[in-house]
Amino acid sequence: MNEVFTLLFAWTPFLLTGFLWNIGVTVIAVVIGTAVGAWLASVRFSGTARQASMSNVLSRFFRNVPTLAFLFFVVVAMPREFSVYGTGLTIPFPLWLKAAIGLAPSVIGFTAESLFIARQNIARNDSDAALLFVPTWGTSVMISFLASSTASLVGVSEMISRSNSIIAATGTGYLIPLYLYCAAFFVCGCLVWMVLINRFKESSYVRTMAKRIANPPHSATPR
């Protein structure tokens, strides 16, 4: 048992660096996914009937296709590097950006669907129902955070990838305690995120702003 604790303590800085990659890739994926998802929700809510229908199809597509499928698509379809035209300069495509792009579609789908429903509730002056967008979006972020362990498929040296390197170097005898140790980081991260989301949702500022939005001078009519 002492050997296990000694090993975990010795490799913790190495694993923490990988965990920071998990967090970083998740943040970038959430920024991309939230921006695109908000745009799709806006088009579906206030665009033409054809635009709204196309936005609905895209939202469902991004929400239902597994993250692994998108990651494999990124690996196969996206180049490792690209050349700047007329300069002969070759720039490598960052692996962390590939991973973030592969994780973003899930956030796009959840954001587009839940934000559209939230805008419908706002148009009905139901601010409390509109606030359900916050935990739904928060759940999509948490799912992306857990899925960030698959970033190793595109070459990102995240926590699980680094734990596999440790196992290869020290032997499979430490496999279970090492994976449990890594799982504890993800569980703690999810718990902290859930607490933050709940506090944000229940804050008086958010409720006040939701009620103000729910009572505009002219409410839009949802499609």
* Contact status, residue 199 vs residue 134, Cβ threshold 8 Å: no
Q: Could you give the CA distance from residue 215 to residue 122 in angstroms, rounded to a whole number?
A: 8
CATH of the domain at 103: 1.10.3720.10
Q: Is residue 102 part of a domain?
A: yes
Banded pLDDT at 79 (limits 50, 70, 90): confident
Q: Is residue 179 part of a domain?
A: yes
177-187 average pLDDT score: 94
Q: Is residue 87 part of a domain?
A: no
**Mean pLDDT for the chain?**
85
Residue 17 has pLDDT above 80, yes or no: yes
Sign, Cα dihedral of 107, 24, 194, 202: negative
pLDDT (0 to 100) of residue 84: 74
Q: Which residues pair with 82 in a beta bridge?
A: 91
The least confident of 1-5, 123-127, 213-217 is: 213-217
Q: Could you give the CA distance from residue 118 to residue 132 in angstroms, rounded to a whole number?
A: 7
Q: Is residue 75 part of a domain?
A: no
Amino acid at 172: T
pLDDT digits (tens, 9 = 90+) for 18-75: 999 999 999 999 999 999 999 999 998 887 888 889 999 999 899 888 888 888 888 7
Q: Which range is most confident: 85-94, 118-127, 177-186?
A: 177-186
Q: Is residue 70 part of a domain?
A: no
Q: Is residue 126 part of a domain?
A: yes
Q: Which residues make Cβ contacts (< 8 Å) with residue 193, sequence separation at least 6?
A: 138, 141, 142, 145
Q: Could you give the CA distance from residue 147 to residue 158 in angstroms, rounded to a whole number?
A: 11
CA 109 to chain centre: 11
pLDDT (0 to 100) of residue 219: 47
Q: How many domains does the chain have?
A: 1
pLDDT (0 to 100) of residue 210: 59
By DSSP bridging, strand 81-84 and strand 89-92 are antiparallel
Q: Is residue 8 part of a domain?
A: yes
pLDDT (0 to 100) of residue 208: 64
With b for 16 or more beta-carbon neighbours within 10 A and e for fewer, the 95-131 pattern comes to bbbbbbbbbbbbbbbbbbbbbbbbbbbbbeeebebbb
For residue 189, the enclosing domain spans 2-64+92-214
Residue 166 has pLDDT above 80, yes or no: yes
